[in-house]
Copies of this chain bind each other. A is one copy, B any other.
Amino acid sequence: MIKATALEQVVRLLGEMPGIGSKTAQRLAYYVLSRETAYAHQLGDALRELKDSLQWCRTCYNISAAEMCEICRQDERDHRLICVVEDAANLANIERSGGFKGYYHVLQGVLSPVNGIGPDDLRIQELLARLEDDQVTEIILATNPTVEGEATAMYLSDILADREVSVSRIGVGVPIGGSLDYCDEITMAKAFENRRRLH
């Protein structure tokens, strides 16, 4: 129809995002067109910079603007607790709930034999290295309550069994089959409160 390359590109690229079909992508592109030019420029620039400006925290592998992320730089948090999450989005949602005051470890994925993702593809060795620090007394497994998330939690529970650290799994509250991304603050806080100890 309209042979505007930029428009077609925006529609195509937005359409690749999760939950955004081609009609929604088109509607969003037209929304940008209806806004002032500064909006399109700011969004464009921010998206362009998004990846360039960020790196992985060298401690917890969260997304970070510096070598160490803002959470790892906070010394007043509870050094005894490490919460293991699948990705930075899950971490952000837990953090927003305010129900957890320890530190995090981002696996950057889940075990998924179907997709060829094994233990070596996750930040598991980096997690084990952090246990050399004697301050850590509990690992809270906060992977998603999906088949793969549960399998990853069980795998971690197994390899942590002989370590001098207690291991727990977030519990009551997070609905099975759901995603932490959509969990509300109260449910999330409850899940931390009701975590059950695995060993």
Contact = CB atoms under 8 A, between A and B. Distances in A.
A47 B50 contact: no
Given A1-B92, A3-B65, A89-B30, A43 B37 contact: no
Interface string A22-62: 01101111111110010111111111111111100000001
* Copy total for this chain: 2
Contacts of A71: 1
Given A50-B40, A53-B4, A70-B2, A27 B18 contact: yes
Given A26-B92, A31-B18, A63-B33, A4 B40 contact: no
A3 B57 CA distance: 13
Interface residues of A, number: 60
Given A1-B95, A18-B31, A46-B13, A6 B40 contact: no
B33 A41 contact: no
B41 A48 contact: yes
A34 B53 CA distance: 14
A32 B45 contact: no
Nearest to A11: B46
Given A1-B71, A87-B30, A89-B26, A49 B13 contact: no
B69 A2 contact: yes
Given A17-B31, A27-B89, A54-B33, A62 B2 contact: yes
A58 to B, nearest CB: 15
A9 B46 contact: yes
A6 B54 CA distance: 9
A47 B37 contact: no
B33 A181 contact: no
Contacts of A18: 27-28, 31
Interface of A: 1-7, 9-10, 13-14, 16-20, 23-24, 26-34, 37, 39-54, 62-65, 69-71, 87-89, 92-93, 95-96, 181-182
